[in-house]
Amino acid sequence: MYKLRYLFTTLLLMLSFSVFSAHLADDIEPGDSVNEIQLPLTESSAAELIRIESKGKILSVDKKDVEEKTIFRIKVLHNNGKIKMYQLDRATGHAPH
């Protein structure tokens, strides 16, 4: 009885995974994901990255050169009414150190 229950559970899980995988997109192109934003960043790609991560409204994007690096400063209005400033390194796409 135990073996039959184990077999049934295994088959049920395998069927669930196959149904789930049928709903996955198979036409994803490079650059479709936030993780695949091309570097170096532009003002618009930096703003889009922060908009997605913060789920806020972009108020402004400024470009500033600091120690031979270009830093984008993005001002965001959050749903709670607070304004926050984010910074991204143009070359790496990460916050500057």
Structural domain boundaries of the chain? 39-97
Q: Where are the beta strands (DSSP E) in the chain?
A: 57-66, 69-77, 83-89
Interval 5-22: pLDDT, tens: 877 777 666 766 555 554
CATH 3.10.450.40 fits 39-97, yes or no: yes
* Better-scored residue on pLDDT, 12 or 70: 70
Cα–Cα dist 50/83, whole Å: 13
- Which tokens go with 91? 């070359």
* Better-scored residue on pLDDT, 37 or 32: 37
The amino acid sitting at 76 is V
Nearest CA to 74 out of 90, 58, 89 is that of: 58
Interval 39-49: pLDDT, tens: 899 999 999 99
What pTM, to 2 d.p., does this model score? 0.62
